[in-house]
Amino acid sequence: MNREETIILGAGLAGLSAAYHLKSGYALFEKDNEIGGMARSIHKDGYIFDYDGHLLHFRNKYTFNLASELLNGNMAPHKRNSWVYSKGIFTRYPFQANFYGLPNSVVKDCLMGLIKARLPLIQPSPHRGEGKGEGNFENWIIKTFGEGIANHFMLPYNRKFWTIEPKELTCEWLDGFVPVPDLEDTVTGAISDNTKPYGYNSRFWYPVKGGISELAKGFSERIRNIHVNKKAVTIDQHRKEVVFADATIKKFKNMVTTMPLPELSNLLVDMPLDVRRAFSMLRWTSIFVLNIGIKSDNLTEKHWVYYPEENVIFYRIGFPTSFSMDVAPERKISIYAEIAYSDTKKIDKNEAISKAMSDLKRCGIISDESSVEICLPMDIKYGYALYDSNRKHAVQVIKDYLEKFGIYTIGRYGSWRYMSMEDVILDGKKIAESLKFKV
């Protein structure tokens, strides 16, 4: 048994970033045979499939510079070209600023709903920046956008995406993820093709070559002491020891864990009842992703499309070949189709594949199934943490308990938050800085 100052569990971007910023005094252990976690890519038959569409959005100059350095120039900017498909028509994303082209009755519903929602309030965009406060998501949608936009897009789409009723969700996660256009912009988008960009992801970056796994590769070239095929199976927080599947044991002073909280709860020993109860309250959605390669000369310029209607099984599809030509062989394109499920909304995966194929055909994305060369399903067990009314308190109880033992749980699934790649890189940096300060 030997001792490391800091043990990091998980070589996804959060763990890699923690190691990169710590620089020394750590050992990083990953259960799988490769690094990258959710930000990995699979090479198959000339295609490069990310686990799911993974695009880089930057709100922070530091992460932009870091990603540029890690990717060594292998990163191109893109102006988002995303759409919504409903009533058999493509409209620009975000729906709440673009219903031009939809039937007149829908446009009228959306405009009247918005006007009624905004009329009592004198300011043109009263809810801009809101969403961090209390209250449920359904109420926020109706108060912010009105009944028309709620019924024609926001509610059906979010039901499909979160797999539960929007009224069961809090608004803590919004933080700019749902754009709130001005009334004037919405009117412009109702009567004309409005190309004005909205939201946090109106510009994004993507590796020119190699898929999103290039980012993790960039980290791994700059850090040492990474051990793959090392699955932690027991964490004795009282003795400050971790046991791995190969029966090796490591002692630690501090631990940074990035594994999903429900998995972590199975590894810890002798927890008090309130902490066990907090772990048991966590809920999440899973994503069944179909990565599809097709023979086609028709390279679309669309980046991705949202599908709010219930009769289409996927909530979104994307076209990786529109971000990088390197991810598919010549005269072929790749598509990902995302299907959400959870304990409350189960799916049969074989049926989901057949339904997705027939929906792709019905929606005009593929001409016939014989053009499909490859369909690689990927099951992402932990997709999105569900922001129900228990989440915040439960996560706080867990974090407070673990920190007493020098265990810090970070990253998208360790913090149990809606976090992007940029967010988890910053989370890794933050914990590294605070641990260096503690030493």
Ligand X SMILES: Cc1cc2nc3c(=O)[nH]c(=O)nc-3n(C[C@H](O)[C@H](O)[C@H](O)COP(=O)(O)OP(=O)(O)OC[C@H]3O[C@@H](n4cnc5c(N)ncnc54)[C@H](O)[C@@H]3O)c2cc1C
Q: Which residues bind ligand X (CB under 6 A)?
A: 9-15, 29-32, 37-39, 52-55, 57, 231-232, 258-259, 263, 287, 380, 383, 411-413, 419-422, 424
Nearer to ligand X, 118 or 250 (CB): 250
Amino acid sitting at position 188: T
- Measured CA distances, 41 to 56, 169, 200 (Å): 14, 31, 24
Nearer to ligand X, 12 or 293 (CB): 12
CB of 367 to ligand X, least distance (A): 27
- Token readout for 361 is 């055909």
d(CA 333, CA 292): 8
- Measured CA distances, 40 to 12, 34, 230 (Å): 9, 9, 18
- Token readout for 377 is 């399903």
d(CA 193, CA 252): 58
- Token readout for 76 is 């191109």
Nearest in space to 349 (alpha carbons), one of 307, 287, 285: 287
d(CA 378, CA 336): 10
Nearer to ligand X, 99 or 284 (CB): 284
Measured at the CA of 318, the angle between CA 49 and CA 380, to 5 degrees, comes to: 55
- Helix pair 421-438, 61-71: axis angle to 10 deg: 100
- Token readout for 218 is 């960039």
CB-count burial class (<10 Å; 0-12, 13-18, 19+) for 300: middle
Q: Compute the chain's Rg from CA coordinates.
A: 23
Nearer to ligand X, 190 or 256 (CB): 256
d(CA 357, CA 352): 9
Nearer to ligand X, 146 or 260 (CB): 260
- Measured CA distances, 112 to 84, 102, 124, 183, 187 (Å): 21, 15, 15, 11, 11
CB of 248 to ligand X, least distance (A): 12
Alpha carbon dihedral 27, 28, 32, 33, in 10-degree steps, equals -60
Nearer to ligand X, 4 or 52 (CB): 52
CB of 136 to ligand X, least distance (A): 23
Please spell the DSSP secondary structure of 27-40, one letter per residue: EEE-SSSSSBTTS-
Nearer to ligand X, 94 or 383 (CB): 383
CB of 122 to ligand X, least distance (A): 37
Nearer to ligand X, 101 or 406 (CB): 406
Nearer to ligand X, 107 or 395 (CB): 395
- Token readout for 168 is 């069961």
Nearer to ligand X, 137 or 304 (CB): 304
